[in-house]
Amino acid sequence: MTALNAELLDLPELDFASADYAARPFQTLAGWAQRWKIARSRRGVEILDYDLCRRAILDRRLGTGHPKLMDVLGLPEGRPLEYKRNSISFFNRGDRRRDLRRPMTRLMSEGGIEAFRADIIATVRRVVDAVPTDQPVDLITALCDPIPSAIYCYWIGAPFEDADFVARTSHSVQQVHTRNPDHTPEIIAAFEALIDYADKHIAARREHLGDDLLSDMIRAEQDGQLDGDDLRNWVIKLAEANTDNSSHQIALAIIELASRPKVWARLHDDPALVPQAVREVMRFHPRTISTSREVLEEHQIAGVTLPKGTPVFANIGATHWDERYYAAPAAFDIDRTDEPPHMNFGGGVFSCIGRFAVTAEVEEVIRLLSARHPALKVDEARFAHSPMFSLVTRLTARLSP
Ligand code: HEM
C-alpha cells in the first residue's frame, strides 16, 4: 500500500482485486473511466482518461517508477540491483537517458527491423513447422514462447536451443511488475543467470562480428556510442523485456483473431489486412494495461495536486475501451479508421524500444497461421488480468482440425 496524502486519499478508490475486474477487466476499467478521470488504488494514483494518459506519459514532470519498484520488492545489493541501477529503466529524462536510448532506437527503428523481417519470417516458420497440426496443442509452449525467444537468440547469435532458457528467465524477471516480494528470490536468480549469459555471448560475438543485432551493438560500442557496461546492460534488457511481453501478445492475437471465423477467413483471403488486424488486437486486448511513472516535480492533473514521489499509473486499458475515443469499443473491428492510436507501447522518451520488432513478429505469426491454417480452432483460452498486464494462462488449439 502506497502512503498518499489527505487530498489523494479523497480520490475514489479502484479495486483491482474485485470480482468485476477479474470477470470483465476492460468493461470495468471503462466504467471507472466514465465516472472519474483520476482515482487511486493500493499502488498509487490512477489516470483513466485517454488525453490525460497520453499527456502523463509524455510529461517531463513524471519520470520512471522503477527505482521505487525495486524498493517495493526489497531487491538486495548485488549484481541484479547493480544492473537495474545502470540500465535504461533507472534513468530519468536527460542526457544519460537520451545517450543510452539513441543507438538502440536506431537499431530497432521501423527501418532497422524491416531489415530483419526476412529473418523474423524464417524464425516464425521454423517454430510453426514443428507444431503438430492434427491434434490439440499447447500453443504457449509450442509457439508463443519459442518465437520471441528464438528471435532473441538470433539477435545475439546464440543457438536456437537456448530459446527455452531465454523464455524462462524473461518470465521470471518480469515478475517485478507483480510488486510482490515473494517473487524476489526467483527474480534475483533469473537476473544472475541472464548476466552470465550476456557476458558469455558478448565475449563470443566480439571474436566474430556478423550481421546480427548484437554485432551491430558491438559496432556501436566501438564507435563510442555505448560503453562496455551499457552494451551488456542492453543485452540483458532486451532479454528481460522481450519474451514475456511478446509471448502473451502473440497468444492474445491468435485467440482474438482465430476465434472469429469471419475475421480469420478475411485474413486468409487478404493478408494485407494483417497489420490493421494486429493493431485492433492491441487496442481491444493489449498486453499492457498500465504503465508506471513517479512524480518528479509537484504539479496538478485534472485539478488534483500530485506531490513529488507519488506513483502514477496511466491506465491504457481504460482508454482503449472508452467510447469517447473509440466508437463501440467493445466491438472487435479490424476496419477502424480515424481513431487515436493504441498506447500498448507507452510513449515519449520511455516508449517501448521493441515495438517495431514485436509488431513484426505478431504480424508474421498471424500471416503464416491464417494462410496455412484457415480452419485453426482455439479449443481453450484462459486469461488473467493484473493491474499492469493481460496474461494468457492457457491456450490450446488445433491447427488443422
Ligand atoms: C507486445 C510486446 C510488448 C509490449 C506490450 C511492450 C510494452 C512496453 C511498455 C508499455 C513500455 C513502457 C513505455 C512507457 O512507459 O512509456 C515498454 C518499455 C520497454 N520495452 Fe517493451 N513491450 C513489448 C515488447 C518488447 C520487446 C520485444 C522489447 C525488446 C526486444 C522491448 C523492450 C523495451 C524496453 C527496452 C523498454 C524500456 C524503454 C525505456 O525505458 O526507455 N519491449 N514496453
Tens digit of pLDDT for each residue in 241-262?
Answer: 988 899 999 999 999 999 999 9
What's the sign of the alpha-carbon dihedral 82, 88, 93, 99? positive
Inside any domain, residue 232: yes
The pLDDT score that the predictor gives to residue 6 is: 84
Question: Residue 97 to residues 105, 213, 224, 299: CA-CA distances in angstroms?
Answer: 12, 21, 16, 23
pLDDT at 314 over 70: yes
The pLDDT score that the predictor gives to residue 171 is: 87
Inside any domain, residue 178: yes
Determine the atom of ligand 1 nearest the C-alpha atom of 100.
41
Inside any domain, residue 236: yes
Tell me whether residue 189 is exposed, middle or buried, using C-beta atoms within 10 angstroms of its C-beta: 0 to 12, 13 to 18, 19 or more: middle
The residue whose C-alpha atom lies closest to atom 28 belonging to ligand 1 is: 354
Domain that holds residue 298: 6-398
Inside any domain, residue 175: yes
Q: Is the model more confident about 4 or about 73?
A: 73
How far apart are the C-alpha atoms of 397 and 190, rounded to whole Å? 30
Inside any domain, residue 394: yes
What percent of the chain has a predicted confidence (pLDDT) above 70? 100
- Structurally, the chain folds into a number of domains equal to 1
**Is 194 in contact with 239 (CB distance < 8 Å)?**
yes
CA atoms within 13 A on the CB side of 107: 23
Three-state DSSP class for residue 121: helix
For residue 139 and ligand 1, the question of a CB distance below 6 A is answered with no
Is beta strand 44-47 parallel, antiparallel or unpaired with respect to 311-314?
Answer: parallel
For residue 247 and ligand 1, the question of a CB distance below 6 A is answered with no
For residue 57 and ligand 1, the question of a CB distance below 6 A is answered with yes
- DSSP 8-state code for residue 175: G
pLDDT at 62 over 60: yes
Inside any domain, residue 98: yes
The pLDDT score that the predictor gives to residue 1 is: 57
- The closest of 319, 363, 315 to 341, measured between CA atoms, is 319
226: number of Cβ within 10 Å = 22
How far apart are the C-alpha atoms of 281 and 250, rounded to whole Å? 10
Inside any domain, residue 1: no
The pLDDT score that the predictor gives to residue 178 is: 85
Q: What is the average pLDDT value for the chain, to the nearest integer? A: 95
Mean pLDDT of 145-150: 95
Three-state DSSP class for residue 108: coil
For residue 65 and ligand 1, the question of a CB distance below 6 A is answered with no
How many A from CA of 3 to the centre of ligand 1? 28
**Is 248 in contact with 189 (CB distance < 8 Å)?**
no
The amino acid present at 306, given as its one-letter code, is L
Single pTM value for the model:
0.95
Tell me whether residue 29 is exposed, middle or buried, using C-beta atoms within 10 angstroms of its C-beta: 0 to 12, 13 to 18, 19 or more: buried
Mean pLDDT of 272-285: 98
For residue 88 and ligand 1, the question of a CB distance below 6 A is answered with yes
The pLDDT score that the predictor gives to residue 252 is: 98
- The closest of 122, 352, 102 to 237, measured between CA atoms, is 352
How many A from CA of 379 to the centre of ligand 1? 30
For residue 246 and ligand 1, the question of a CB distance below 6 A is answered with yes
The pLDDT score that the predictor gives to residue 2 is: 66
- The closest of 237, 243, 244 to 149, measured between CA atoms, is 243
In DSSP terms, 398 is beta-bridged to 377
Of 139-148, 170-179, 297-306, 333-342, the range with the lowest mean pLDDT is 170-179
**Which of 59, 344, 352 to probe ligand 1 with, by most ligand atoms within 8 A of CB?**
352
Give the domain CATH number at 307.
Answer: 1.10.630.10
323: number of Cβ within 10 Å = 12
For residue 354 and ligand 1, the question of a CB distance below 6 A is answered with yes
Query: Grid coordinates representing 162?
Result: 537456448
How many A from CA of 358 to the centre of ligand 1? 9
For residue 347 and ligand 1, the question of a CB distance below 6 A is answered with yes
For residue 238 and ligand 1, the question of a CB distance below 6 A is answered with yes
pLDDT digits (tens, 9 = 90+) for 2-59: 678 888 999 999 999 999 999 999 999 999 999 999 999 999 999 999 999 999 999 9
**Is 86 in contact with 229 (CB distance < 8 Å)?**
yes
The three-point CA angle 349-351-357 to 5° equals 135
The pLDDT score that the predictor gives to residue 4 is: 81
For residue 350 and ligand 1, the question of a CB distance below 6 A is answered with yes
Determine the atom of ligand 1 nearest the C-alpha atom of 249.
1
Three-state DSSP class for residue 372: helix
pLDDT at 279 over 90: yes
Inside any domain, residue 15: yes
The pLDDT score that the predictor gives to residue 189 is: 96
The pLDDT score that the predictor gives to residue 51 is: 98
